[in-house]
Amino acid sequence: MYTQESDGTESGETSAGDAVIAEVFSQRCADDPVTVYHEVHAQCPVHRAPGMFGGHSVHVSTYADVTWALRHTEVFSSKDVVDLGNDQPLIPLSVDPPEHRKYRRMLDPEFSPTKMAILEPEARALVNEIIDRFAHKGQCEFHEDFATPLPSTIFLALIGLPQTDLPDFLRWRDDTIRPEGNTPEEIEAKRQAAGQAINEYFVKALEEKRKHPDDRLLTRIETGEVDGRPLTQAEKLGICHLQLLGGLDTVTATLDCMIAYLAQHPDRRRAIVDNPELMGPAIEEMLRQQTPVMMVPRVIAQDYELNGVQLRAGDGATLLIGAANADESEFESSGEVRLDRETNRHLAFGGGPHRCLGSHLARMELKVSLEEFHKRIPDYEIVAGTEIHFSPGIRQADNLPLVFPVEA
């Protein structure tokens, strides 16, 4: 159990735990997260220390503590905690209960299992269209050729926007989540420009849906109501902005993680090819063991003591959901992908009120993608001599070249 003194004092002293927590954001952790997570569990399961940009920062890592934090928004608030160049809150992520519930009541039905089942045949067709582009070549750059266009293509179909707009969406996604620049000011300027461009795009797109409605998600956002009133323009834009970021990035990273793992573990790959019923458990286990979205931000809304550490209102907080998914007290042999794991209450989609709105969509995309890919390309491997590295925070591969027998 760690006390306040062992996790950094109000006077700004540092501790051994600071170095361990710093590793969570390192390339080493992105490439080999479970090893780092186990070090965090052993040395500083709840850590509070002076933040890099002032104030104090809290990191929570165990399954029990992260689960508690996700459920208790009155302590670990998500309100306005994300600044990604958005001029308005990202709805419903940046709104806490009870206000949060009215947006979820409107949006949850749009991402229900029933709605995803309706979308699935279209998704399977889109998956095979993408595979058609490289199956005859015997090779592909999986990240660029499949993982990037696939979820983006499905997202555009779901929301009801033209596929020709995909290059713009991908550029805005990268400039928001992984902006490049030589200085913090350049990076922030690029992120702000992307946010403005996203808003301008959706102002026009919503107006077009108002004039020419259809049965897709953007029309339902345009005509949506909460508490018996129409959504404001700011609310509509906040919803659209979050949908773009969530729909285009996280499934790409997840596909990268899963195919990289299966390419390096041919026994697991053969198991799901030989027994397709294992695909569902395999997806859940890889979501847990790989955990593409490694952490989520929060802010401490009131003073609270967690696991012996005193947290203060106003502290920044990071919930290490990847570390929670590697907690040996919840998941025996947590570093292994076990296809026979009976209980798998992983937190890859978060938990509590802010549990990922698009989790059913993501599961459908992953299931359809991996089923169709392995039907057509059951044997593949990473090009010899290739080093695969993942980005910290959201584990997207920097490259993933595959070779495989040409489709018969």
The Cα-based distances of 121 to 116, 145, 326, 397, 407 in angstroms read: 9, 21, 34, 28, 22
Across 73-81, average pLDDT: 94
pLDDT digits (tens, 9 = 90+) for 189-207: 999 999 899 999 999 999 9
Across 331-351, average pLDDT: 95
Across 264-283, average pLDDT: 96
The Cα-based distances of 352 to 77, 96, 208, 287, 356 in angstroms read: 12, 11, 35, 18, 9
272: exposed, middle or buried (C-beta count within 10 Å: 0-12, 13-18, 19+)? buried
Long-range contacts of 197-202 (CB under 8 A, 24+ apart): 197/168, 197/172, 198/85, 198/86, 198/172, 198/240, 198/241, 198/244, 199/87, 199/237, 199/241, 201/165, 201/168, 201/172, 202/236, 202/237, 202/240, 202/241
- The pLDDT > 70 percentage for the chain reads 95
| pLDDT at residue 1 tops 60 | no
Contacts of residue 8, Cβ cutoff 8 Å, sequence gap at least 6: 14, 15, 17, 18, 47, 48, 49, 50, 56
Confidence of residue 24 (pLDDT cuts 50, 70, 90): very high
253 or 180: which carries more pLDDT confidence? 253
Q: Check residue 294 and give its pLDDT.
A: 97
Confidence of residue 13 (pLDDT cuts 50, 70, 90): very low
For the chain, domains (ranges, CATH) are 5-403 (1.10.630.10)
Q: Check residue 85 and give its pLDDT.
A: 61
The Cα-based distances of 307 to 48, 60, 277, 297, 395 in angstroms read: 11, 10, 40, 19, 28
Across 237-262, average pLDDT: 91
- The span from the CA of 233 to the CA of 240, in Å, is 11
181 is catalytic: no
Say whether 230 sits in a helix, a strand or coil: strand
71 or 187: which carries more pLDDT confidence? 71
| pLDDT at residue 108 tops 70 | yes
pLDDT digits (tens, 9 = 90+) for 114-173: 999 999 999 999 999 999 999 999 999 999 999 999 988 888 989 999 989 989 988 988
Q: Check residue 248 and give its pLDDT.
A: 76
Cβ count within 10 A of residue 296 = 22
Contacts of residue 211, Cβ cutoff 8 Å, sequence gap at least 6: none
End-to-end, the C-alpha distance of the chain in Å comes to: 59
Across 271-288, average pLDDT: 96
Q: Check residue 2 and give its pLDDT.
A: 33
7 is catalytic: no
Strand-pairing partners, residue 394, are 293
- The span from the CA of 31 to the CA of 34, in Å, is 9
71, 124, 178, 376: which is the annotated catalytic residue?
178
Tokens of 258: 């899963």
62 is catalytic: no
62, 148, 219, 250: which is the annotated catalytic residue?
250
Q: What is the model's pTM?
A: 0.92
160, 351, 358, 393: which is the annotated catalytic residue?
358
114 is catalytic: no
* DSSP string for residues in 348-377: TT--GGGS-TTHHHHHHHHHHHHHHHHHH-
Q: Check residue 89 and give its pLDDT.
A: 85
Confidence of residue 3 (pLDDT cuts 50, 70, 90): very low
338 is catalytic: no
358 is catalytic: yes
| Percentages of the chain per state (helix, strand, coil), in multiples of 5 | 55, 10, 35
Q: Check residue 327 and give its pLDDT.
A: 98
Q: Check residue 9 and give its pLDDT.
A: 43
195 in Cβ contact with 177 (< 8 Å):
no
237, 306, 356, 361: which is the annotated catalytic residue?
356
Cβ count within 10 A of residue 404 = 18
Cβ count within 10 A of residue 29 = 25
CA 332 to chain centre: 24
249, 256, 315, 327: which is the annotated catalytic residue?
249
pLDDT digits (tens, 9 = 90+) for 361-395: 999 999 999 999 999 999 999 999 999 999 999 99
Q: Check residue 15 and give its pLDDT.
A: 72
| pLDDT at residue 51 tops 70 | yes
- Beta-sheet strands, E only, within 132-240: 139-141, 225-226, 229-230
- The pLDDT > 90 percentage for the chain reads 79
Across 101-106, average pLDDT: 94
Across 256-279, average pLDDT: 97
Tokens of 177: 């989540």
The torsion defined by the Cα of 101, 76, 1 and 288, in degrees rounded to 10, comes to 60
Q: Check residue 4 and give its pLDDT.
A: 36
